[in-house]
Amino acid sequence: MSRLDLHDTIRAVVYSDGVLRVLDQRELPFVETQLECHDAGEVAEAIRLLVVRGAPAIGIAAAWGAVLEARLLQAAGSAVTQAALESALVRLNAARPTAVNLAWALARMRAVLARAPADPLAALEAEARAIQDEDLAANRHMGELGAAFLANGSGVLTHCNTGSLATAGFGTALGVIRAGYAKGKIEQVYAGETRPWLQGARLTMWELGRDRIPVKLIADSAASHLMRSGAVQWVIVGADRIAANGDTANKIGTYQLAIAARRHAVKFMVVAPWSTVDMATRQGSDIEIELRDPGELLSIAGKRTVVEGADAWNPVFDVTPAELIDVIVTERGAIERPDESAMRRLAGQS
Ligand code: MRU
């Protein structure tokens, strides 16, 4: 087992024989339980409720959701065609709006059916498997590419959860952190809590703790103070959608980290597979930002913290302008000082 394999022991999405098992991320870190999905509707609901979450992981789960539905069609003696699967694909696609990986994965599944393969179910299974395997390979590669930017002994701040739980394994920003730590480039990680769903506190702290990577939790509101202290040289985050000009949608709070990072001469890195890049969206302001139930802000762990009758506004992503990003790392390569022409070059569009 390589040193990096030791830092990659969690799998959030596992398919076998007509059952998709997803690690229930609502229950972590204290309860490790898997939820079983048997059809596309159950997968869509698991995505909507954040049982499975993180841009690459929801794309992978949706691809397997299409496979589950195709199996049910075949078992009922119906032909597995694009028309027959379409309503399930639409339902999966509607589960969450911001991460483009969902639509990207489903477009790949549609393209398989459009080729009218002799055995559509086998072809869909092979495609879902490829989507999952390619994501893991991309993460390993991005880990190497991203870690190359770090000086030995760096401090880094990350936000939300971008690890094995959010991907096929290893992670995007957390993959760079895993690779950077294994190479001695990272001395200390700081993880923001990530209110209101606490992906940083509940999930990133759990993942890095299991891997024995030194991590300290901070309140989201402590980030600027941390940067001014000189303890971090990099902010490293993932992405849910990167527009053609490099503007990046990610977990709410990312934008203010980028502003604070520029103010304190801390470098800002976005790490995401190419499946998160949406060249059809010109700029960040064109990205739909998911608004979730205000109730998520009104209580903590089921205990009400705000007076009855109070209202709240709960956007769960924001957009960081490309000009605040020092480098975007994808498996195709890294773009320093991203802009539309650099993005188009990497996309093979210029
Ligand atoms: O609402 P979530 O938990 O799905 O949001 C996740 C994020 O914002 C991640 O940073 C992003 O999806 C990248 S995960 C590799």
How far apart are the CA of 46 and the centre of ligand 1, in A?
Answer: 15
Instruction: Name the residue type at position 159.
Output: H
Neighbours of 333 (CB within 10 A): 14
Average confidence score pLDDT of the chain:
97
Question: Please, what CATH class does the domain formed by 139-347 belong to?
Answer: alpha beta
Fold of the 3-137 domain: Four Helix Bundle (Hemerythrin (Met), subunit A) (1.20.120)
Residues 266/234, Cβ–Cβ less than 8 Å: yes
Neighbours of 293 (CB within 10 A): 10
Alpha-carbon distance values, 98 to 24, 93, 251, 254 (Å): 21, 11, 10, 14
What residues act catalytically?
A: 240
Ligand 1: list residues with CB < 6 Å: 53-56, 99, 160, 162, 166-167, 172, 199, 238-240, 250-251, 316
> What is the tens place of the pLDDT at every residue in 172-226?
999 999 999 999 999 999 999 999 999 999 999 999 999 999 999 999 999 999 9
Residue 313's pLDDT band, with cuts at 50, 70 and 90, is very high
Alpha-carbon distance values, 267 to 218, 262, 284, 324 (Å): 19, 7, 20, 9
Residues 69/62, Cβ–Cβ less than 8 Å: no
Using DSSP, state whether 312 is helix, strand or coil: coil
How far apart are the CA of 53 and the centre of ligand 1, in A?
Answer: 7
Name the percent of the chain lying above pLDDT 70: 98
How far apart are the CA of 151 and the centre of ligand 1, in A?
Answer: 26
Question: What is the model's pTM?
Answer: 0.97
Using DSSP, state whether 34 is helix, strand or coil: strand
Same-fold call for 3-137 versus 139-347: no
Q: Where are the domains of the chain?
A: 3-137, 139-347
What sign has the CA pseudo-torsion 27, 28, 31, 34?
Answer: positive
**Atom 8 of ligand 1 has which residue's CA nearest to it?**
251
Ligand 1 atom with minimal separation from the 199 CA:
3
Alpha-carbon distance values, 215 to 12, 83, 178 (Å): 21, 49, 12
